[in-house]
Each structure stands twice: as structure tokens, then as C-alpha cells.
Structure 1
Amino acid sequence: MYKRLAKQTIIYSIGSILPKIINYAFLKFFTISLKKEEFSLYTDMYSLSFIVIGFISFGLENTYFRFLYKKNYNQETVFSTGVIIQLFITSFFLIISIHSIKYLISIAGYHNHPEYFFMFFFIIFLDTVCILPMAWLRANEKPLKYTIINLIKILIQSFLTIYMFFYSNNFFIKKTYFFFIFEWINSYTDRTGYIFFANMISSLSNLFLVFPIFFKKVIIRKFDKILAKKMLKYGIPIMFGTIAFSINENLDKILIKRWVSDEINGSYSACYKIASFMSLYIRIFRLGIEPFFFKKSGDSNAKYYYEEINYIFILFGLIFYVLICGNIPIFIGFFIDQKYHFAMSIIPIIMMANLFLGIYTNLSIFYKIIDKPIIGTYISLIGVLITFLFNIIFIFLPYKNNNFIIPAWGTFVSYGSMLIILYFWGKTIFFQFFKKKINVIIHFLFAILLVFIINNQKKIIFSFIFQFIYLIIIFLLEKKIFINFIKK
């Protein structure tokens, strides 16, 4: 079981890691090629779109996994019903958005770039439509197809982005095959828009690649109205939780752009992306583990698996945290241009906040398998209130050079509070969870203290020595856990 799980997780990881690595490579390219103001626009459009995707995805991915493993439902019925619901919601969104575009552009402050919104309407539509077919590949243990589709998508996006950027700088001769297409794109948008156009085409290619799944697996007559109501009832609380997460993750960047400046937001957003390395680790773990969690939900020893896997997740997460935050000058110099280093102090704060979120996401399995996702909604709303509070403080304080640290601490406190609330709420049901909670607390304090010490001394050699000693200590303390994990 563990071997198969590990093998699938590795393949999923390639499909997730490689596109992310390519994106991080582009991070350096973008921060060199774009002004901080342009990078702020790039980040802002994705921040706004993530909130919208949280709404129109309707929590159907989690809902699909939950109903798929219920004994009284046929797999084809669950998938067909979910896809038809998703298509209806996304089509409705696209029609309403296009008809309301002038109003939306006015609210967002993009009078000079209405084309951004047209492109993002289609990006959001295409990406959301593809959520369930990609989930189907995961549920049916087809990690290779999942990975290939992700790689094709990112390669198309990468090629188009590089081509357009280099073409705009006259690196290619003007009489190439793509000349007239590029001239039209260039007349339609600017350099930031090139990124969005490439994304739109790659999202369209993703739809073509998963279309056989629609064609073969979606059966209209299998649509079940009663099941649809149950799926929507289950998914709506998850949707609100997803929106709350999107607000927690993106509100700071949206507000910094509008209340301070695009220049500060450009630096903040670039450094935030370095901190999102932790999100990459969480996503890799989640891709392989989440379907497994749902499959094991009915087993008598399910709590044992959940606790063991979560403890391992925390150990590796903290090791990852120390290795990244202990080498911030190296990572930030490698991934973003010097002019964006202004906000680098947020990186350890946001990385730890993301680790809190990863643990929260793993523990949230308890309310999903008892069909009470509303618990997650309540907790997420508390997190949003905390985020709003810190951002309001940020807005009303007289602006100083280091004020941007306030929203970063808001993310940290928000995710930390959500994790603590979920733990105390869930332990009454999963009372065995984290029998090693003292160990967990010690590991956290040790990692945070070490990162603080490393970042407050200037000699790189001492940084490496501290990290090496940390790895040895952790291995000696948790030798049995690591050896058993490798064996299994």
C-alpha cells in the first residue's frame, strides 16, 4: 500500500513540481523583464482570479472525491452529475462576466487594460471546467496521464511567453511564421498581457487534452437530480471555505496595490512567491494523499494512518522550512531580481503561515468524512476576520517602509488560529490525533528559533553549520519514524 502510494505521489509530484519549477524560473525572467509596476498588475490579476475560481469551482473537487467513495453511488453517476453542475455554473459565469465587463473594469481600476479581463474570463472558465476531469485521473489512479497533461500545458504556456517577450524585443526576424499573429496580439495588449494570453492558450490546450474524458465518461442520462442537490449542499460550505482561503492569501496584495503603490506591491508579491515554496510542498503531499485519505475513511484503523502521515508531513515541512529560510539570500538572489528584494523580511513569516495551512488542510479531513464541511466554513470565516483586522490596521496606519510586514503577520495569525481552532474542535471526534503533540510543539519551537538565529548572524558558514546540526538532531530524535517511513 505504502509503496504504491509513494510511487503515485512521486509521479504526481513530477506533474506538479516541474510546472512550478518552470514558473519559478519564469519568476526570475519576469522580475528582470517587467518593471515593479507591471509585475504588480500581473500579480493582481491572478489574485482577483483566484477569488473568483474559489466561487465558481463550488467545492466540487472535494465533493466528487467524497461521493465517489460512498457505497450507494455509481462512479459514472457521481462524475457525470458533478461535471454537468460544473459546466452549468461556469457557463453562467462566463455569460454574466462578459455582459458586465465595463462595470467590473471600473470597480477594479483597469480602464487602460480591458483586454486583461476578457482573457481572464476565459482562463477562469477553462481552468474550472477542467477541475473534475483532472480529479477523475487522480481518483482512477492515472498519475502518468495527469502528469503528461500538466507538462504539455506548461510547455505550451512557456513557449508562447518566451516567444512573445523575445519577439517584442526584436530577437526574432519579423518575417517568421507567427509574424501576423504576434502583430495582432501586440496591438491588442502589452507585455504583461503576453503572460495572460499564453495562459489562456495553455488552458485551452488543457481542455482539448481532457476532452476524451468528457466524451467517454460524462453521460447526460446519468445526471441525478437528488445527487446533484446533495453534492451542492456538501460543496457550498467548501466553496465558502475556499473563498475565505483565497481572501486570506490574496487580500494583502490587492490592498497594497490600491492603498500604497504598484511598486511596493511588486516587491511584496515577488517575495511572497518565494515564500510559496511551502505551498509547493503541501500541494505535492496533497495530490497523492487526499484520495487515499477518503478511501481509508471507512477503515477501523483510519485514525492511525491519519496521525502517522500528518506527523511525517510536519517533520518534513519543518525541515523544508529551515532549509529555505536558512538560505534566504541564496534563494531570493536566484529567483528574483535585486530590485525586488525590498520585502524579503516577509518570507519566514509567510512560509510558516503556509505550513500552518498545510497541517490545517490535512486535519480538515475529519469534518469532510463525517459530511460536515460547514465546520471548515466557520473556521475559515474566523481566519478571514483576522486577515481583515490586520489589513485594516495596515490601511489606517501612516505608511512607513516596513508597514507591509503587518499583512504578512495577519496571514500568519490567521492560519495559526484556524489550525488551533480545528485541532480543539476535531479532537473530540478524532481523540487520538496527535498523541505526540508535545513533540510537535518542540519541533516547531526548535525550527523557528533556529531560523531566527540564522537570520540574525551574517556569516554563511555558520548558517550551513547550524542547518547541518539541525538535520542530525532531527534524524536522531525521529530515527525510528524516518526508518519506518522509508521501509514502508
Structure 2
Amino acid sequence: MNPLRQLISQTAIYGLSSILGRFLNYLLVPLYTYTFNASEYGVVSEFYAYAGFFAVVLVFGQETGFFRFRQKPEYTDEAVYGNGLSFLLLVNLLFVGTVFYWQQPLADALRYPNHPEYLLWFACILALDAVTALPFARLRAENKAWRFAGIRMAEIFITIGLNLFFLVLCPKGLALWPDSALAEIYNPNVGVGYIFLSNLLASICKLVLLLPEFRAVPVQLKLSILGPMARYSLPMVVIGFAGMVNEMLDRAILKIMLPYDLATNLKMLGIYGACYKLSILMSLFVQAFRYAGEPFFFSYAGRADAKHAYALVMQYFVIAGMFIFLLVTLYIDLFKYFIGAEFRAGLAVVPILLLANLCLGIYVNLSVWYKLSDRTGLGAWVSVAGAVLTLALNVWWIPLWGYVGSAWATLACYAFMVCVSWLLGRRYYPVDYPLGKIGCYIALGLTLYFTNNLLLTGFHWNSWLSGTLGLLLYVAVVGLFEIRPLLKRR
């Protein structure tokens, strides 16, 4: 199969599993925002923000290290995989044991003294996700996209089923039959903890489904393999951690930085976290592309036309990303019903966050320069600089503009990282990206977005008519300048 077609097809498979599965999971957002108030949902947003940081650290960059070192002739695939997996098992067992021992002091520090179990459940979730990251990476490397997608989908369906069981069936059943067995299973005081418990049980099921990837893998910790892998992968931890700072720091510190009382701050955090979910389509697109793109970049690097292929991938990525931006923003009157009425006060951040995630995807494309030139340390400095900028802008803008300041800080950070990464890429791994075309499509999307706002507010057009015309115009331009020439050449 043509490598570009393979990239597109595998992105579609990963995207189908991610988009369909996460979209089904996304349908839980209305359940959460209609079941819990903004303050309670703020707890969920805060914990998942912390989870992002630990998820990076606990994987130790082993995914990218595995992709790189399995290509080296001096190492075997089994040795690289076995050592990486053994290392992850050891580290994550130590992590869960530490949290188990200190769970009450940690709960007190986070101001959840009545729910130390939240921390233990989350530690187990993080450890299970970290340990299964390498088996998933191996499936990607072996082009087993359908097995990867099937296990991901199973995890999503189990999560959804358990959420519906704990948050819908159990409360209603207990109200009808207070003396039934449900009283032994369901405790209303756990509250949002049932969201975490559902995630934990689904992660256990995921581990069971991946057990074939663990069989016949001997426990081995050879410094001759782990040493070089660590030197390559540890900068990826810095990159990933800095990336989590850029992506999650706002939700982690809003509770502290907002100038209100704790209840109001949690309410604002809940509103922002729910509106962040409305940018999920762009996040899923970036995630699906990353799943398929990383092994593609490494496997295609040796070809003479590799740089030309990377340039085309970037161009088509931006075209698709701007389509998603317009789809959500032009039909925001539909998407807003996925969150409760109390949460819709924050809809102004949705376009900003969509653009921020688009910039993140562009940065993922650009990151090929440090991965293929083995300059992961320099790539780490780019991410660290972005993280410092994110922290500074959040500290500056949150007291001034609240969570809107956080959204702008996220966009500013990713735009900065795109610029710096492009400049460094020109020196260490130059790729002639079609900047003119990319800029035109971004400008076209933004023009259609602002024109739609003008038609709605200034001329009182019907939102469905205006949005549909804008989206069709964008598709027509793409068809005229991209699809039509391809068809003529064929």
C-alpha cells in the first residue's frame, strides 16, 4: 500500500475508534453536567487535569523510545519491548504503593479529606494506563490498527455502561427499592467518585484484553538497553510534561488563581472544564493523527521523498483541522446542548480552544525535526519554554479575565511553540512546508467564522442557514483547489 494512503487509512481507523468511542463517552458530559452542579463537576475537571501530568511521567517516554529503538539494527524488537515493559511495571507498582501509603495526607492537601479513596482509585487508573501504553504502541508499530481500535472501543463502552449503572440506574433503583441489594453496592456519598470508579474498572478490563501482549515477555532490566533508551526517551518525558502544562495547567490552577471563594472557584472550573469538552472533535482529530503519524514519520524517514510527504501531510492536516473548527463554531447553537444550561456561560472560550488544539496538531507535525534528528533534548527545551509561557500567562490573565484568560494563554503558548519549532526545524531538518497555502486556509476559516458572527449579530440571520453556507463555501474552495487537481492528475 502507498505509505501516504496507509497513513490516511490508519488515521481513519484510529480516528474512528477515538472519535466514535470518545463521542459516545462525550455523551456522558450531558449526564455529568445535568447530574452534578458546576462545583461538583469542578472536582472531576481538577482530577483529570492532575491525571494528565502523571500520565506523562509514568510512561517515561517509552512509547517514542520503542518506535525509535526497534528500528535500530543492534537491538531486537523483543528486547526493546521486554525491557521497556518490565521497567514500566516496576515504576508503576512503586507509584501505587506510595499513593496507598500517603493517601490521607495527600487528600488533606488537596482539600478532599473525606474522600481519600479518590486518590487511590486515580493512582490505579494512571498505573494501568501507563503499563498498557507500551502494548498499545506495539500494536501501532505492527500496524494492528483494528485490534488497537477494538480494545479502545471496548474500554469506552465499559466506561459508559458503568457510568450509566452508577449514576442513573443505582439512584433510581435505590429510590424505588431502598432495601434491595443496590444499597450494598451504591453509596450516594461517593458522588462524583463513581466517575472515577467507572474509569478504574474499565481500565482493568482493558488490561485483561491486552494480556496476550504481556505473555511470553520475560522480565528483564538490562542497562545496556534501558540506558540508551532512557537517554533518548527522558527528554520526551520533559516534552510530554511540558505539553501537559500547556494543556492541563489551567484546569489545575484555576481553583487557586481565581479571586473568589472555593465554591465559586470550583464552579468556574466546572464551567470551563465542560466548555473545554466542546473542543473535543479537534482534540480527537489531533490524537488520531498522532497515533498514526508517529510510526509513519519514523518508517518513512529513509525514503527520498520523505520531506515532500511530510509537507503534504501538514497541508492536508490544516485543511481538515479548519473544517472541524468551522463545523463546531458555525453550529455552536447545536453543540451547546451537550452541556447543561449552567455551563453555557463559558461558550466564548470554545473557538479559542479549537484554534489552540489546531496549533497543537501543527506542532505535532513539526516535531518530526527533533525526533528524526535525535535532538529530543532540544525539543524538550521548546516544550519547557512553552510551559513557562503558559504558567506566566495564566498567572497574569486568570485574575484579570478568569477562565477566558486561560483559554487565550493556551492559544498563545501553542502558537509560540509552532513558531519556534518551525524555525529550529529549518536548521536541523528543513522541510518545505507550503506556508502560503496553509496560511490561506487558516485565513479563510477565520474569515468565514467572523462573517458568520457578523451575519448573526448585525443582520440577524438564521444560525443554521448562515453556518451551512459558510461550511459549504469552505468545502467548495477545498474541492476546487485541492480535490479537483488530484482528480485531474489521476
TM-score when scaled to structure 2? 0.92
Shift of 1:257: 2.4
Name which of structure 1's ranges 203-212 and 93-102 shifts more when overlaid on structure 2.
Answer: 93-102
Match for residue 454 of structure 2 among 432, 443, 456: 456
What is the distance in 2 between the residues matched to 1:91 and 1:68?
26
Name structure 1 gaps, 5 residues minimum: none
1:81/1:34 CA distance change after superposition, 3 Å:
same
Aligned-residue offset at 1:141: 1.5
Equivalence for 2:240: 242
Which residue of structure 1 aligns with residue 76 of structure 2?
74
User: Which of residues 35, 49, 52 is equivalent to 1:50?
Assistant: 52
State the number of aligned residues. 476
User: CA separation in 2, counterparts of 1:312 and 1:484?
Assistant: 18
The match for 2:352 is 349
Letter in 2 for 1:326: L
- CA distance in 2: counterparts of 1:233 and 1:32, whole angstroms: 47
SS at match of 1:298: coil
Match of 2:204 in 1: 204
Aligned position for 1:419: 418
Greater mean alpha carbon deviation, residues 224-233 or residues 162-171:
162-171
Amino acid at match of 1:293: F
Instruction: Return 313-322 or 388-397, whichever deviates more.
Output: 388-397
Determine whether 1:297 maps to 2:301.
Answer: yes
Report the CA distance between 1:283 and its aligned residue: 1.3
Residue 380 of structure 1 and its aligned partner are, at CA, apart by 0.8
- Closer/same/farther in 2, CA of residues 468 and 395 from structure 1, 3 Å limit: closer
Assess if the C-alpha contact under 8 Å between 1:166 and 1:172 holds in 2: no
Can you give the 5+ residue segments of structure 2 that lack an aligned partner in the other structure?
Answer: 259-264
Determine which of 124, 128, 136 is the counterpart of 1:122.
124
1:89 corresponds in structure 2 to 91
Comparing 115-124 with 16-25, greater Cα deviation is found at 16-25
Whole-angstrom CA distance in 1 between matches of 2:188 and 2:347: 35
State the distance in 1 between where 2:129 and 2:7 align.
27
In structure 2, the partner of 1:369 is 372
Residue pair 2:174, 2:183 contacting (<8 A) in 1 also: no
- Would the aligned equivalents of 1:42 and 1:192 in 2 still touch at CA under 8 Å? yes
Distance in 2 of aligned mates of 1:150 and 1:62 = 20
Map 1:125-274; keep pairs closer than 5 Å.
Answer: 125-171=127-173, 180=181, 182-187=182-187, 189-216=189-216, 218-220=217-219, 223-260=221-258, 261-274=265-278
1:392 to 378, 389, 395: 395
CA offset digits 1:78-114 (Å, max 9, x no partner): 1001101111221121122222223322222211221
Change (3 A) 1:101 1:388: same
In 2, distance between residues paired with 1:7 and 1:308?
A: 16
In the superposition, relative to structure 1, how do residues 481 and 99 fare at CA in structure 2: closer, same or farther (>3 Å)? farther
| Structure 2 counterpart of 1:254, one-letter code | A
Structure 1 match to 2:17: 15
The AA in structure 1 aligned to 2:360 is: L
Q: Tell me the distance in 2 between the aligned counterparts of 1:247 and 1:185.
A: 37
TM-score in terms of structure 1 length: 0.92
Q: 1:235 to 1:184 in 2, by over 3 A?
A: farther
Once residues 311 and 484 of structure 1 are traced to their aligned partners in structure 2, the CA distance between those partners, rounded to angstroms, is: 19
SS at match of 1:478: helix
- Post-superposition shift, 1:189? 5.0
Aligned pair in 2 of structure 1 residues 243, 307: CA closer, same or farther (>3 Å)?
Answer: same
Larger CA deviation: 74-83 vs 245-254: 245-254
